[in-house]
Amino acid sequence: MDYAFDFNWDETLSWLKTLGIALAILFAFFFLANFLQNLLKNRLVKRMDDPLLANFISVIFRLVILVIGFMVVFRVVGLTGVVSGLLAGAGITAFVIGFALKDIGENFLAGILLAFKRPFRVGDIVDIAGQRGTVLTMNLRDTQLKTLDGKDVFIPNATIIKNPLTNFTIDGFLRYDFIIGLDYGSDYHKAMEVILQEVQQVDGVLTDAKKPSVWIADLAESTLNLQVTFWVDTFDRTRSDMRTKTEAIIAVLEALEKAGFNLPSKIIELKNYQGNSLETS
């Protein structure tokens, strides 16, 4: 039995030509999307001074262009019915995808809220769900932090929305404090004056809008505890806050010791009610 194989070369060439045009359009839209994303991001950063929001909007813009590109490709290859079907079934598709990719959709929507609400900026020091670090970037799914010990932490955007967020640097001011214990019977007023003078001379300590202060924090068993507080400018990245705090503590200790103040450790009082001699070995 003979089988005749009818090969239509013209139809095959036409199909390959259409496929080539479709692939060319797809690659063109891909490079166009990347180019316009970078262009839009640079323009938004200059005008908005907000890299997080600018990056987020540019990513959304890129996705829209890619979706348009796929729609054009479908029409070129003659799959207009597929496009119509996709549009008609968008509701059911969105429901199925939303149910299957619940976490991804949740993080995506949370990212949109964070991008426009903007509770932090690039470079801010934040604490999110017990993770403290500097904000590096935010994308459609998560936000990247650099911890103080150099770790990179990726926190899902939905977690940020659901948990308390502490921003230590958003307004430009951050307060630090430490405790100094004085011996009972000291000249407390003079000690407080010495402390204030020394703290105000430390580089990085604010002395205008936010001034250092000293007050009595506690009447402890062995010492009168003074709490020393001062403010730093968080927008000044040239000087470490911990360095400023360290120099402030050292300056206060040296000044108090030089002025003759005793800074005792914990004192234990022993009372002998029976009058017996205490033996030591």
Q: What is the DSSP string of the chain?
A: --------HHHHHHHHHHHHHHHHHHHHHHHHHHHHHHHHHHHHHHHH--HHHHHHHHHHHHHHHHHHHHHHHHHHTT-HHHHHHHHHTHHHHHHHHHHHTHHHHHHHHHHHHHHHH-S--TT-EEEETTEEEEEEEE-SSEEEEEETTS-EEEEEHHHHHHS-EEESSSSSEEEEEEEEEEETTS-HHHHHHHHHHHHHTSTT---SSS--EEEEEEE-SSEEEEEEEEEEETT-TTS-HHHHHHHHHHHHHHHHHHTT------------SS-PPPP--
pLDDT in tens, 97-107: 555 456 666 77
Q: What angle do CA 209, 211, 215 make, to 5 degrees?
A: 145
The mean pLDDT of 215-237, rounded to a whole number, is: 89
Q: How far apart are alpha carbons 156 and 23 in whole angstroms?
A: 35
Q: Tokens for 60, please give them.
A: 């959304």
Q: Which pLDDT score is estimated for 85?
A: 56
Has residue 88 got a pLDDT over 60?
no
> Is 0.75 topped by the overall pTM?
no
Q: Can you list the pairs that 35-41 forms with residues at least 24 positions away whose Cβ atoms lie under 8 Å?
A: 36/61, 36/62, 36/65, 37/61, 37/62
More confident residue, 89 or 254: 254
Q: Which pLDDT score is estimated for 195?
A: 94
Q: Which pLDDT score is estimated for 53?
A: 66
pLDDT in tens, 15-43: 777 777 878 888 888 888 888 888 877 77
Which residues does residue 156 pair with via DSSP β-bridges, in sequence order?
142
